[in-house]
């Protein structure tokens, strides 16, 4: 993870500081400076310790949840400890989706003799999904391979629970590509099925590992043209069993209960720390990650690492006594996971204030060895 | 990890199969074949499941230990299940080092008023180290920064416990480079100190993480010119505290007890599986990993992954109905960790039988995304 901080530093340095001083400083001076900064980042254990505290003492921090408030206080304190010249909070109204306790599901297989067998299903409501009501749903399950098959069999899904067989493609060397493809069913599945009268949908957990049964959540969204229906992800081992039974033509009904619901919007904050530029204090180089994380886990890679490595840029520059020419701004965004409202608020305020951002780099791909960065 | 299998396949294919058939098969045919094989490897969860069983049901499998015998039986069975044409065992006499139970250590700080404070030390005897005897050692601790300082202060270490401050260099982007540098004290430290009469040595655990206190073992070796003395690694947090106290000039004595000892050599085996070559059955392309692993852990990356991905090459070729032109040999070596006797036995038998090996690739760098391979 420290290696990502190092990359971020290189990017910010190479692009702006050295070119601005190219006429006076030579390549060798820059090179020594980069190495010194890299050494500081690689030698410091601060980012790891910050990550430990964020994950282990705060943990889940979804927008509106108690963890959100705790993580905001933590971020302010850690940015100050890192040596930021200025730490401030940018208020943003965030959605407050609440899972409402443990999701429950099982399915009932009826054999040729009418004998019924009940099998547990490890399940997790998708973020932003509506709930089923306290009595749950008990409906016929219909297996649908993909959106194309849904169009062909649209008459069959009315009042049923659609089970999408959105297999995670293991053949891509880029796991992110498979995540995007399989995730299409998580994002658009509910409304695509609701269009034809489905009562709910279940998808395969959008995750690479076939060796565990822990469903992965992630956000869904609804097309306002159709009714909202409950949506959940199944653990992959359970999904394999259910789908095999459906493929074998068994008569299956699924019970699914979720008390997921929205509470009124809450006031969250983008937490921002700055090192004021010595030459261009009103021009910004921004780095950041998102502070929120899903409710069932600790959000280490998504996106604790993005936060702590961004903070570490301020710490490293301060520790070296380096005064940046441009203002370095670290932004820990609110509500990326189920709303993107923190990013939207930041962009809107930057625009309305006429702030000049010369470069911005967000890290939200996990704290692995950095290979590349992209432009969007 | 499956990505490493894929690399291994590419290497074996590119180097030998396609060039042998270059006159008849064109690049496109090879390319389609490679992709098909890669797809099979990436889609199969067999290697992961094999790794789970090896780590979770067998676990530690140091040479001579009960785990060694279990892992050999597992390896034979898994190679057969993968579809090897031939599975055989190559006997090799292996050392049987036994930790003899939990290592114990603490240190006593005596302040200016003669008040003594006892502090626990999380410690792990180095592999192949001798023990202290059941009464343990209780000796003055002398901090030595490096071998250079040892030469300068050789008069001071007599009958003392030398504490080497072999800091793991966090500034290398290659963790392996730092491992090699810091590990020099693990490998050569005991005899270097014994030369000047030291009673034992402690080193900093040779590991990158500063955020845990779990000492890492690894093998040491003795120079027969000097007495053998006990040697152990300290957890990094405990090491930091002890070394800080020694640097502050405090008077410190260390108690260290280890019942480590060698039992008589045992008969272990290299476990070998083959797919017989269709054109050159007596010429071998060998891939492998080592089956043994250290006693305190499961040996997933070191070197369970090397084993399961090697086995998966046979599985994938067999699953595709592919008949290699050369014999593909998978060798799961005995006793890499504290003896290298499996590798030596394999080389000796290959030489005495006049076997022609056209290529060999061993994987023992952890099951990460492959970047390169080296020649030794």
Interface size A-B, in CB pairs within 8 Å, comes to 34
| For B1, nearest residue in chain A (alpha carbons) | A173
Neighboring chain A residues of B240 at a CB cutoff of 8 Å = none
ipTM of predicted complex: 0.75
Q: What is the pLDDT of residue A210?
A: 67
pLDDT at A19 over 80: no
| Domain A2-96+264-362 CATH (choose: 3.40.630.10, 1.10.10.60, 3.90.1010.10, 3.40.109.10) | 3.40.630.10
CA-nearest of B312, B353, B346 to B331 is: B346
Write the pLDDT tens digit of every residue in B36-55. 888 998 888 899 999 999 99
Q: Inform me whether the C-beta atom of residue B45 falls under 8 Å from chain A C-beta atoms.
A: yes
Q: Which of A336, A337, A355, A362 is an active site residue?
A: A336
Q: How far is A1 from chain B (nearest CA, A)?
A: 11
Inter-residue long-range contacts of B315-322, CB under 8 Å, 24+ positions, other chains counted: B315/B44, B315/B46, B315/B47, B315/B82, B315/B83, B316/B5, B316/B9, B316/B37, B316/B40, B316/B41, B316/B44, B317/B37, B317/B275, B318/B82, B318/B83, B318/B84, B318/B275, B319/B40, B319/B44, B319/B83, B320/B36, B320/B37, B320/B40, B322/B37
Mean pLDDT of the residues in chain A:
92
Whether B288 and B310 have beta carbons less than 8 Å apart is answered as yes
Which residue is associated with the tokens 């083959």? B274
Q: Inform me whether the C-beta atom of residue B31 falls under 8 Å from chain A C-beta atoms.
A: no
User: What is residue B194's three-state secondary structure?
Assistant: helix
Q: Which fold, B2-97+264-362?
A: Aminopeptidase (3.40.630)
Q: What is the pLDDT of residue A2?
A: 56
Q: Do the Cβ atoms of B171 and A43 come within 8 Å?
A: yes
Q: Give the range among A15-19, A242-246, B231-235, B318-322 with minimum mean pLDDT.
A: A15-19
| For B4, nearest residue in chain A (alpha carbons) | A173
pLDDT at A93 over 50: yes
| Mean pLDDT value across residues B225-239 | 97
Whether B20 and B370 have beta carbons less than 8 Å apart is answered as no
Please report the sign of the dihedral spanned by the C-alpha atoms of residue A360, residue A365, residue A368, residue A370: negative
Please, which pLDDT band fits residue A13 given cuts at 50, 70 and 90? Answer: very low
Rounded Cα gap, residues A187 and A126, in angstroms: 9
Q: How far is A143 from chain B (nearest CA, A)?
A: 22
Q: SS3 string of A194-229?
A: HCCCCCEEEEECCCCCCCCCCCCCCECCCCCCCCCC
Write the pLDDT tens digit of every residue in B52-96. 999 999 999 999 999 999 999 999 999 999 999 999 999 999 999
| For B38, nearest residue in chain A (alpha carbons) | A171
Please, which pLDDT band fits residue B16 given cuts at 50, 70 and 90? Answer: very low
**Residue % of chain B over a pLDDT of 90:** 80
Neighboring chain B residues of A173 at a CB cutoff of 8 Å = 3, 42
Give how far Cα B222 sits from Cα of A306, A315, B94, B130, B345, Å: 46, 44, 17, 10, 22
| Mean pLDDT value across residues A177-206 | 96
Write the pLDDT tens digit of every residue in A32-63. 888 888 899 888 889 999 999 999 999 999 99
Please, which pLDDT band fits residue B2 given cuts at 50, 70 and 90? Answer: low
Say yes or no: do domains A2-96+264-362 and A100-259 share a fold.
no
Residues of B (165-224) whose Cβ lies below 8 Å from A: 170-173, 209-211
Q: What is the pLDDT of residue B250?
A: 94
Q: Which CATH architecture has domain B100-259?
A: 3-Layer(bba) Sandwich (3.50)
Compute CA B62 distance to the chain's CA centroid, rounded to the nearest angstrom. Answer: 10
Please, which pLDDT band fits residue A1 given cuts at 50, 70 and 90? Answer: low
Kindly list the strands in the beta sheet with B116-120, ordered across the sheet, starting from the edge strand earlier in the chain.
B116-120, B104-110, B251-257, B137-144, B161-164, B200-204, B231-234, B123-125
Q: Which residues of B are catalytic?
A: 336
Write the pLDDT tens digit of every residue in A99-153. 999 999 999 999 989 999 999 999 999 999 999 999 999 999 999 999 999 999 9
Mean pLDDT of the residues in chain B:
92
Neighboring chain A residues of B171 at a CB cutoff of 8 Å = 38-39, 42-43
Q: Do the Cβ atoms of B171 and A39 come within 8 Å?
A: yes
Is residue A76 part of the annotated active site? The answer reads no
Domain limits, chain B? 2-97+264-362, 100-259
Q: Give the range among A4-18, A65-79, B353-367 with minimum mean pLDDT.
A: A4-18
Q: Give the range among A92-96, B273-277, B293-297, B358-362 with minimum mean pLDDT.
A: B358-362
| For A43, nearest residue in chain B (alpha carbons) | B170
Query: In 10 A of CB A162, how many CB atoms?
Result: 28
Q: How far is A235 from chain B (nearest CA, A)?
A: 16
> A212 or B122: which carries more pLDDT confidence?
B122
Please, which pLDDT band fits residue B175 given cuts at 50, 70 and 90? Answer: confident
Tell me whether the omega of the peptide bond preceding residue B299 falls within 30 degrees of 0, making it cis.
no
| Mean pLDDT value across residues A227-249 | 97
CA-nearest of B303, B302, B328, B326 to B315 is: B328
Give how far Cα A246 sits from Cα of A234, A254, A301, Å: 15, 11, 35
Using CB atoms, pick whichever of B52, B173, B209 lies closest to residue A211: B52
Q: Do the Cβ atoms of A173 and B3 come within 8 Å?
A: yes
CA-nearest of B331, B319, B333, B332 to B359 is: B331
Please, which pLDDT band fits residue A15 given cuts at 50, 70 and 90? Answer: very low
Neighboring chain A residues of B170 at a CB cutoff of 8 Å = 2, 42-43
Using CB atoms, pick whichever of B43, B49, B171 lies closest to residue A170: B43
| For B3, nearest residue in chain A (alpha carbons) | A173
Q: Inform me whether the C-beta atom of residue B3 falls under 8 Å from chain A C-beta atoms.
A: yes
Q: Which residues contact B147 (CB under 8 A, 6 or more apart)?
A: B184, B185, B188, B192
Q: What is the pLDDT of residue A34?
A: 84
Q: Inform me whether the C-beta atom of residue B10 falls under 8 Å from chain A C-beta atoms.
A: no
A42, A174, A300: which to substitute to probe chain B, counting the most B Cβ within 10 Å? A42
Which residue is associated with the tokens 């019942």? B259
Write the pLDDT tens digit of every residue in B108-154. 999 989 999 999 999 999 999 999 999 999 999 999 999 999 999 99
Rounded Cα gap, residues A79 and A315, in angstroms: 8
pLDDT at A195 over 70: yes
Burial A170-199, CB ≥16 within 10 A → b, else e: beeeeeeebbeebbbbbbebbbbbbbbebb
Using CA atoms in the order A319, A323, A325, A328, what is the torsion angle rounded to 10 degrees?
40
Q: Give the range among A170-179, B25-34, B329-338, B359-368 with minimum mean pLDDT.
A: B25-34
Q: Inform me whether the C-beta atom of residue A43 falls under 8 Å from chain B C-beta atoms.
A: yes
Helices B27-43 and B2-12, interaxial angle, to 10°? 150
């Amino acid at each position: 993870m420290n290696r990502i901080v190092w990359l971020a530093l290189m990017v910010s340095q190479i692009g702006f500081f050295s070119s601005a001083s190219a006429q006076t400083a030579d390549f060798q001076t820059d090179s020594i400076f980069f190495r010194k900064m890299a050494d500081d980042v690689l030698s410091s254990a601060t980012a790891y310790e910050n990550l430990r505290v964020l994950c282990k003492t705060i943990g889940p921090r979804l927008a509106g949840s108690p963890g959100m408030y705790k993580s905001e206080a933590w971020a302010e304190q850690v940015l100050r400890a890192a040596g930021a010249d200025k730490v401030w909070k940018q208020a943003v109204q965030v959605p407050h989706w609440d899972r409402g306790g443990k999701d429950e599901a099982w399915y009932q297989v009826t054999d040729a003799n009418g004998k019924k067998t009940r099998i547990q299903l490890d399940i997790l409501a998708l973020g932003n999904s509506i709930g089923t009501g306290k009595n749950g749903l008990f409906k016929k399950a219909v297996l649908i391979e993909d959106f194309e098959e849904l169009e062909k069999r649209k008459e069959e899904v009315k009042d049923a629970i659609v089970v999408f067989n959105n297999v995670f493609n293991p053949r891509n060397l880029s796991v992110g590509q498979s995540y995007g493809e399989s995730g299409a069913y998580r994002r658009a599945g509910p409304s695509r099925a609701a269009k034809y009268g489905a009562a709910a949908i279940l998808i395969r957990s959008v995750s690479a590992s076939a060796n565990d049964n822990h469903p992965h959540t992630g956000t869904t969204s609804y097309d306002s043209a159709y009714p909202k229906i409950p949506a959940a992800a199944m653990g992959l081992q359970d999904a394999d069993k259910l789908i095999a039974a459906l493929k074998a033509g068994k008569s299956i009904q699924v019970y699914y209960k979720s008390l997921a619901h929205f509470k009124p919007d809450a006031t969250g904050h983008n937490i921002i720390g700055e090192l004021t530029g010595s030459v261009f204090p009103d021009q910004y180089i921004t780095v950041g990650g998102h502070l929120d994380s899903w409710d069932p886990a600790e959000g280490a890679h998504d996106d604790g690492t993005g936060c702590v490595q961004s903070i570490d840029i301020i710490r490293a520059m301060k520790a070296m006594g380096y005064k940046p020419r441009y203002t370095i701004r670290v932004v820990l965004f609110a509500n990326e996971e189920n709303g993107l409202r923190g990013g939207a608020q930041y962009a809107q305020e930057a625009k309305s204030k006429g702030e000049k951002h010369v470069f911005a780099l967000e890290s939200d791909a996990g704290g692995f060895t950095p290979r590349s960065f992209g432009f969007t």
